[in-house]
Amino acid sequence: MATSKQPRILVTRRLPEAVTERLLRDYDADLNADDRPLSDAELAAGIARADGLFVASNIKWDAERLSALPDNVKILVTFSVGHDHIDLDAARRRGLKVGNTPDVLTEAVADIAMLCLLGAARRAVESQRMLHRGEWEGWHSTQLVGMELTGRKLGIVGMGRIGRATARRARGFGLEIHYHNRQRLDAEAEQGAIYHDRLETMLPVVDIVSLSCPATAETTRLVDATFLRAMRPGSILVNTARGALVDEHDLLAALESGHLFAAGLDVFDNEPHVNPKLVARDDVFSLPHIGSATVNTRNAMGFCCLDNLDAFFQGRPLPFGLV
Ligand code: 8YV
């Protein structure tokens, strides 16, 4: 797209090298090379001269922020599949195009769901801490025994792309797949998974619950004391979706009481300010939101954003458009 006056893009976070290269080939850009949080003044200055915004999920684009955007800003692309940080209705009202990065991170996130599941089930945190502290005094038949997956039941909440990719992996570990979704999948997509139209029927029969639904008004704090009480004693909660799905206070209580065996978490409420009580626990296998963190996936996510920008500035519909 070699034009004399190229569209100007404000990029709020540092991008992978290959993505930056392609961006700078086709656009003028204000980059955030240091990847530090932009102040409101820096953001406003960048917005004032931008035709498009290339953002990530750390800034909330609520109705107030979106309605205050000057007319020069015509498109916002987010380096994420999740779009709970963007008020899509407000974007629609403002006439702003919005695009995200579906599909390309499905497999990477499903890998991390399995890592969280295994880390929680096999007491990885306690094991590592024992080794790292030099406290391992040798093998015992009863030492660090965890939950074996073969023959257990996994309940997936949200059987979209990531939920189905998690199910594919979990079958290989001998887990029986149950799922709760707004709609039942067809037999081909279900691959024998057992559908529950209500969480109330699924939670008491599964040994592990894995969350892979988006954060919406309906799913925010879905996992609260009532949800956790409905889970089987000794079961495991895995969350690779969004921290907002879980009431962390109630989760802590369920772990402290011993009702849950463990949790595996890649996402937290109020990231990056993680509740220290959660990560201090031996029964919480935790990761700093690395679900999509592979070179291929992060490049592909960046390219989706660029594909969206290219399409928009060439007058075509966004290939990964939300609005
Ligand atoms: C992003 C994510 O990398 O895509 C998502 O929804 O949660 C992550 O994989 C992160 O949100 C940065 O935008």
Side chain identity, residue 114:
M
* 170 Cα–ligand 1 center, Å: 23
Supply the residues annotated as catalytic. 242, 271, 289
Query: Is residue 318, in this structure, part of any structural domain at all?
Result: no
Number of domains in the chain: 2
Q: 78 in helix, strand or coil?
A: strand
Distance CA 24, CA 9 (A): 10
What percent of the chain stands above pLDDT 70?
99
Q: Are residues 199 and 308 in the same domain?
A: no
pLDDT digit string, tens, across residues 69-128: 999 999 999 999 999 999 999 999 999 999 999 999 999 999 999 999 999 999 999 999
Q: What does the block give as tokens for 56?
A: 């990530």
Query: Is residue 111, in this structure, part of any structural domain at all?
Result: yes
Q: In what order do the strands lie in the sheet with 75-78?
A: 28-30, 8-11, 52-55, 75-78, 97-99
pLDDT digit string, tens, across residues 256-295: 999 999 999 999 999 999 999 999 999 999 999 999 999 9
Q: Are residues 142 and 253 in the same domain?
A: yes
> What is the number of residues in the chain?
323
Q: Are residues 277 and 168 in the same domain?
A: yes
Query: Is residue 241, in this structure, part of any structural domain at all?
Result: yes
Q: Are residues 58 and 150 in the same domain?
A: no
Query: Is residue 71, in this structure, part of any structural domain at all?
Result: yes
Query: Is residue 301, in this structure, part of any structural domain at all?
Result: yes
Q: Are residues 118 and 265 in the same domain?
A: yes
* 11, 51 contact by CB (below 8 A): no
* 207 Cα–ligand 1 center, Å: 27
Q: Are residues 98 and 110 in the same domain?
A: no
Output the domain CATH number for residue 38. Answer: 3.40.50.720
Q: Are residues 170 and 93 in the same domain?
A: no
Q: Are residues 98 and 134 in the same domain?
A: no
Distance CA 118, CA 123 (A): 8
39 secondary structure, DSSP code: P
Distance CA 57, CA 80 (A): 7
Under the banding of pLDDT at 50, 70 and 90, the label for residue 4 is low
Query: Is residue 321, in this structure, part of any structural domain at all?
Result: no
Cβ of 105 below 6 Å from ligand 1: yes
Cβ of 292 below 6 Å from ligand 1: yes
Q: Are residues 45 and 183 in the same domain?
A: no
Q: Are residues 92 and 126 in the same domain?
A: no
Nearest alpha carbon, ligand 1 atom 1: 80
Cβ of 79 below 6 Å from ligand 1: yes
Average model confidence (pLDDT) across the chain? 97
Under the banding of pLDDT at 50, 70 and 90, the label for residue 5 is confident
Query: Is residue 215, in this structure, part of any structural domain at all?
Result: yes
Mutation test residue for ligand 1: of 79, 268, 270, the one with most atoms within 8 Å of CB: 79
| pLDDT (mean) for 127-131 | 98
Q: Are residues 183 and 279 in the same domain?
A: yes
Say yes or no to pLDDT of 2 above 70: no
Distance CA 295, CA 167 (A): 23
| pLDDT (mean) for 239-254 | 98
Query: Is residue 2, in this structure, part of any structural domain at all?
Result: no
Under the banding of pLDDT at 50, 70 and 90, the label for residue 133 is very high
Cβ of 57 below 6 Å from ligand 1: yes
Q: Are residues 98 and 37 in the same domain?
A: yes
Question: Which residues span the domain enclosing 28?
Answer: 8-104+295-313
* 301 Cα–ligand 1 center, Å: 9
pLDDT digit string, tens, across residues 6-65: 999 999 999 999 999 999 999 999 999 999 999 999 999 999 999 999 999 999 999 999
| pLDDT (mean) for 149-160 | 98
